[in-house]
Structure formats: structure tokens, C-alpha cells
Chains A and B, each alone.
Chain A
Amino acid sequence: MSQSETPVIELKNVNKHFGDLHVLQDVSLSVKKGEVVVIIGPSGSGKSTLCRTINRLETIDSGEILIEGEPVPQEGRKLAELRSRIGMVFQSFNLFAHMSILDNLTLAPVDVLKIPRKEAREEAMKLLERVGVADQAKKVPAQLSGGQQQRAAIARALAMHPKAMLFDEPTSALDPEMIGEVLSVMTELASEGMTMLIVTHEMNFARQVADRVIFMDGGKIIEENTPDAFFEHPASERAQNFLKTIRDH
């Protein structure tokens, strides 16, 4: 049973500086298989940076990051291979502008996983169906709404059959009326047992899908709890203040 106990994502005493700014201070956290962990906190708290260190889009100064028990490689093919196993969804979608939505989904499966093109296309269409943008498959990203683009971006990440998914503020760049459609795709994904680490400002969503909520401020993890416990009785003063400002809005 030891294998199932190895966390999918594990951070140990991670530190990072941007110049003089200590953006991650001794951060440790782990995400088990099938777990949905939501990170919240004020902007500038380091939550986004934390998310991006996991597949080394940001480097760290000290500490350790383990994926399924193995340290994240620092470069080369091994790093690329690890990244291919971790899906990532960005705030600004980042779909490839010169490709159709369908080609966006098949690029990495064909080039990286060496899946035959035809198979990759069929799978991609199924995924697009699932996130509800199959009818947009032939269009290029700029022809889609933000919400559609983000759903396609989620599908693109899923096409790699990731072991875990990272969401870096996936709804922050969206118009309010489009946030729901993206969150519902994520909710569905969570209910299917996907391992997820989500950085978000959507508190209701966090409360609904999270197995665990992590509150960050000033580069540190301040609190870690079940969503109900956290939102009903935040232990720290900072979390109390944060939740208060959010509710006042």
C-alpha cells in the first residue's frame, strides 16, 4: 500500500526570492492522489509562484519538490517528460495562436507522447465534446470567447493524460458571465477523481470542490484546513481579515 501513500505532489521547505523579495518562505505541502487542494490568499501572497514552481516554470532557491516521490529534474528531456505528466492551466489561456483548437489539443500528444495523429484527433474531439467546445474545433483561438478558450485549454492539458492538474488562477482573466462555465468543467473534473492543485479567488467554488484549503500570505502558508472548517472558523487573524474583505465585496 505504500505506493498509494506517496503524494502526487510534495513540496518540502521551498524557498524562493525575487531580488530582495522573499516570495516563498519555507513552504511545505503535499497533494495526495485524487485530492483537490485549493490555494487562496491575497494577491502577492506567492500562491501563483508556488503553483508555477511545481513544473519548474519558476525555479526555486532551496528546498525540494517531488512528483510521485521523485525530485523534479532541473533540465533537459527528463524535465520535459515530467512536465508532460502534469497538466497546467493558465490565467491567460495561452492557446497557440496560429493553430486551430483541434491542433492545439493534438500537438503535444503527437509530438511528445508519439500517439498516432488519427488517434490523437479522435481523443481530442472527445475531450472537446466533454468541455463543450467541440463545435469550435476548426476555429483558431482568437475566434473563441475567453470562456471557450479556457475550456479548450483545459482539454489541451487533459489530452496528455496528466497525473495531476495545476490551475493558476484560471478564471481571473474572464468576464464574469464566463466564469461559471469554466468552474463547472473543473468541478466535473474534481468529481471524476482528478488530482488538482488550484489557485483561485472563487471562494464559493473553493468551498464546494476542495478537499483541503490552503491560505497563503506574505510567501508563507498560514493555514491549512478542510473548507468548512476554514471558511467557518478561520484560525489566524490574517485569514479572518482576508475573508472579511472578500465578503465585503
Chain B
Amino acid sequence: MTQTSIRDMLYESPGPKAKKRIRFFTGLALILLAALLALVIRQFAVTGQFAEKYWSFFARFTTWRFLGEGLLTTLEAALTGSAIAFILGFLLMRGKLRRNRILRAVSTALIEFTRGVPTLLFIYFFFLVVPKTGWKPSAFWKITLPCAISACGVVAEALRSGVNAVPRGQTEAALSLGLTETRLFYKVVFPQAFRFVIPSLIAELVIVLKDTTFAYIVTCADLMQNAKVLISNYDAMLSVYLVVAVIYILINYLLNKISDRLALKLRRTAAEGSKA
């Protein structure tokens, strides 16, 4: 049988009166939503935002190539940032699971610190303070590094919960076979933990991607920054920002969908495993 979600269980199969009521309110809701849509369209029309000059350049290949270049930088920054966040997060997770008390305390503090401070603060740090130290990273790194740092604590916690989800019995079995603890971790524990946390790593990628929209602060030519250039070229603020917002939403939606799918699949295999 398919999984029944609470959505379909909460209301029981309607009787005749309830059926009538549902029909009535479905009609009413449709009318209201249509009215809302009409209101939005009217506002666009009244303010002249449907004018051809605001939209015609979207028919040009160069517009999309330019936005595409920006998007590429955005994705590059997001993927690089996530990769760095993964490495840092992995180190922090290893540190937090160590017996050494100092190492554990430092790791915990760093995790809590990166989780409790907004990305923007890290970005301003790289924008305002870092260049004064003499190290002058490029705009790309000025947005990518703070996003990575901001994400690494969350990644560390995700990895840690993955490691903790690996059944104890397995580690005991492996230890009794004479594996050293380090080999045990890399051969047995981590590969499984990694599978558990892939969905949350993808969800983290979404967060990093969202954070990269602050690239305009450090004038890195990402999607948002290129949108600004388009706007000044065509004097089309609303249309360009709307299109760009939709692009962001679609990409993140897609990534979240993939993450949800994988999570569901993992849960299914786990359920089957426990049944067998």
C-alpha cells in the first residue's frame, strides 16, 4: 500500500453535506484566487509594466547568455563553497567526536560560532577587514569563503548525526575483528554515515546558493550582479528581478526535490533493512 500521509487522513471521507460544502468552498476559493491573480495582473497593466520594452530583450539570446554566465558563477560559488564547507565540517565533526577534551571543546565552539552568526557578517568581514590585512582575495573568494565558513558548522552537525545513526553493533563487530579505530571510521562508519546525510548536504547546498546572492556586496559577477547590469542597460527593474527570482526559486526547488527523493529512498531502504 502507498504511504498514507496525514494530509489524506485528517479529514474522513465526506458525507453528502460535507461533499456539498467542499464543492461550495472549492468554487469560492477558485474565485478568490482568480481575483487575486486578476488584481496582480491589473497592477502590472495599470503601472505599464507589461510594456514591450520591459520584456522584449528576454527574446534575445545575448540576454540569456549574460544571465547564464552569472548563473554559472553563482553555481560555481555555491558548489565550491559547499565543497569547502564539507571539508571544514568534516574536520569539525572529527574534532567533536574525539576523546581529547581540548580538541572537542574547540570544535564545539567553532561549530556553535559558525551556526550562530549570520552569513552577512562573515561576508562583511571578508569585504571590509580581510583586504586590510594585505591578503587580497578575488571577488569570487570574497563571497565563496564566507558562505563556506557560515555553512561548515551545520555540515559538521549533519555529519555527526549521520555517524551517530550508524548502528553500534557494527562498530563493535569491526573492532572485534581487529580493525584500528581510524580504519574502522573510514572503512565502515563514514561511508554509511555519508549515505545518510546526502539529503541534508544537498539541502545545505541550497542554503549556500541562497547566501551567494549577497555577492553584489563584493561585486562578484554572479546571477544577481549580472541582473543589475541588465537593469541599468534596459531600465527594466521589475521584469529582470522577477525573472531572476524565478530562476533562483526553480533551481532551489529542484535541489530540494532531489534531496527529498533521496531522503525518502534512504528511509525506505532502512525500513526494509530493519524488516529483513
A interface residue numbers (CB < 8 A to B): 56-57, 59, 73-76, 79
Contact = CB atoms under 8 A, between A and B. Distances in A.
5 contacts: A73-B15, A75-B17, A76-B17, A76-B18, A79-B15
A59 B17 contact: no
Given A73-B15, A75-B18, A79-B15, 6 more contacts: A74-B15, A74-B16, A74-B17, A75-B17, A76-B17, A76-B18
B129 to A, nearest CB: 50
Contacts of B14: 75
B13 interface: yes
A61 to B, nearest CB: 11
Contacts of A76: 15, 17-18
Nearest to B17: A75
Contacts of B18: 75-76
Nearest to A58: B13
**Which applies to chain A's interface (DSSP): helix, strand, loop or mixed?**
loop
A155 to B, nearest CB: 25
A75 B16 CA distance: 8
B16 to A, nearest CB: 6
B13 to A, nearest CB: 5
Nearest to B21: A75
A59 B13 CA distance: 7
Nearest to B13: A59
Contacts of A57: 12
A16 to B, nearest CB: 11
A227 to B, nearest CB: 32
3 pairs of A and B residues whose beta carbons are closest in the complex:
A75-B15, A74-B15, A59-B13
Nearest to B19: A75
Among A56, A73, A75, A79, chain B packs the most CB atoms within 10 A around the CB of: A75
Nearest to B18: A75
A57 B17 CA distance: 17
A57 B16 CA distance: 16
A57 B14 CA distance: 11
Contacts of A79: 15
Contacts of A59: 13
A74 B12 CA distance: 11
Nearest to A75: B15
Nearest to A59: B13
Interface string B42-55: 00000000000000
Interface in B1-39: 12-18
A79 B17 CA distance: 13
B110 to A, nearest CB: 37
A3 B210 CA distance: 72
A79 B18 CA distance: 13
A73 B12 CA distance: 13
A76 B20 CA distance: 13
Nearest to A74: B15
**Interface centre among A57, A74, A79, by most B CB within 10 Å?**
A74
A239 B18 CA distance: 41
A2 to B, nearest CB: 30
B100 to A, nearest CB: 37
A58 to B, nearest CB: 8
A79 B14 CA distance: 12
Contacts of B13: 59
Contacts of A75: 14-18
A76 B11 CA distance: 12
A75 B14 CA distance: 7
A45 B217 CA distance: 68
A74 B19 CA distance: 11
Contacts of B16: 74-75
